Structure 1
Amino acid sequence: MPPTLSAGLLLLLAYLLGALSGSLLLGRLRDVDIRQHGSGNAGGTNALRTLGWRFALQVVAFDVGKGALAVWLALRLAPADAMVTPDVLAYGAAGAAVAGHVWPLWHGFRGGKGAATAVGALLLLWPLSVPLLVAVWLLVLGLTGYVGLATVLAAASLPLWGWLLGIDGTRMLFAIGVALFLAFTHRANLQRLWRGNESRFERARLLHRLRMRA
């Protein structure tokens, strides 16, 4: 098989893996489509609101896993004589998996927002970034209670961490792409936040309560 065709098939496979929505597939086992409940989004946050934290953890694990699997397959099966290096193909597979999650072929192109799948890809492509992202996410969530804002700001920190750590150009382009893409998929959250009617998880505002007591 020509190496260009092999690379294209790996990208297609990554998209199809990404298009397997954890919340929708696991929700079917409970005869629930979470897009008909809560915010209508097929992601981890709405899974938490709809069916509780155990279900949400299963959804997040599924979506993180498919992102990691898409990258792993691209790295392992990348043709040696393709026009792009295996690393570049792996970043492309990560982007394809995230796009599949947001616009899933199997679920009428109505998916989630891509954060968990991106984290799964980063576990293989840039492992050090994941604890840094989680730290920013927990900090913002603990102070504000806004999951969408925490996700957007955590993603926005990626290029900054990359600059501080001196990462290569390909990884930096991916970091910037993830930051911009997650801001785009969370645009409705940002608009509601601007209008003052974004949903807030009050129980998550642990740092805010500690600060108020100090």
Structure 2
Amino acid sequence: MGTFTMSPLSLSQMGWATALLFASFLLGSIPFGYCIGRLRGIDLRTQGSGNIGATNAWRILGARWGCGIFVLDFLKGALPAIGGLHFSPALSVPMTDLLGSLAGLAAILGHNFTPWLRGRGGKGIATSAGVLLALTPWAFLVVLGTWASLFLLCRIVSLASLGAALIFPIATGLLYPGRSVLLAFSIFASLLAILRHRSNIRRLIQGQESRFGRKNQNDLSGA
């Protein structure tokens, strides 16, 4: 069980850790949805919700491309977090938790605010899911179950994503007691996901959020 005691990094390790975080941000910043859309002759920023994530890609490009983009966005969150967790076997659990969390967070921020599209990225749900699986696999299962249950009930992606974001810190606290770094990450990641869904929250309150699968040329929803 982790504690607040962290083994310090050597100067060399600090350099490698910095490189890891930079590489994580760059990997996260790759706008797969935008790139694949353009290869298909479509700019996702001008279609549907205007989002470059997997949900809008599914709507505009079809299920096959939407699933592919989800997997790519998922992996660009999971791989950096795994790299942080396995940075060095000599480090304490809290330190590897910290490196994994920071690398995962860097990837999420890269996706949400990609510099290649002037900061106009996605909402980070698929990328965050990859980080969750790497850092907190048991909490990931709870979050996935919550998302799936809400989606099946309402068919609204944003509502399912918001519910999953809210349950994540609770699941992490219960399933990973004493892992304070992971709990802190889960709270921050949850708040970030909620903030990225501000427009969706407004539409949910107004009863204007579209259900997934409904054909609507004026659909402005999405995750």
Q: What's the TM-score bracket when you normalise by the shorter of the two chains?
A: 0.7 to 0.9
Who is 1:157 aligned against? 167
- Residue-by-residue CA offset, 1:43-65 (whole Å, 9 max, x unaligned): 11111111111111001000001
TM-score (norm 1): 0.87
Offset, 1:192: 0.9
Name the one with the larger helix percent.
1
Offset, 1:73: 2.5
Who is 2:188 aligned against? 177
Who is 1:134 aligned against? 144
Instruction: Pick from 11, 16, 22 the counterpart of residue 6 of structure 1.
Output: 16
Highest relative contact order (Cα 8 Å, sep 6+), 1 or 2? 2
Q: Are 1:68 and 1:122, in contact at CA under 8 Å, matched by a contact in 2?
A: yes
Q: Are 2:139 and 2:175, in contact at CA under 8 Å, matched by a contact in 1?
A: no
Instruction: Pick from 121, 138, 142 the counterpart of residue 131 of structure 2.
Output: 121
The aligned amino acid for 1:71 is A
Q: Are 1:78 and 1:89, in contact at CA under 8 Å, matched by a contact in 2?
A: no
Whole-angstrom distance in 2 between the partners of 1:35 and 1:202: 19
Stretch moving more, 24-33 or 116-125:
24-33
Offset, 1:77: 4.0
- Structure 1 residue runs of 4+, over 6 Å off? none
Equivalent pairs: percent with the same residue? 38
Q: Are 1:18 and 1:67, in contact at CA under 8 Å, matched by a contact in 2?
A: yes
Structure 2's unaligned 5+ residue stretches are 1-10, 215-223
Whole-angstrom distance in 2 between the partners of 1:21 and 1:133: 25
Offset, 1:202: 5.8
Whole-angstrom distance in 2 between the partners of 1:202 and 1:89: 39
The aligned amino acid for 1:39 is S
Instruction: Pick from 95, 98, 103 the counterpart of residue 85 of structure 1.
Output: 95
Structure 1's unaligned 5+ residue stretches are 204-214
Stretch moving more, 2-11 or 149-158:
2-11
Who is 1:100 aligned against? 110
Offset, 1:32: 1.7
Whole-angstrom distance in 1 between the partners of 2:185 and 2:174: 16
TM-score (norm 2): 0.83
- 2:137 partner SS: coil
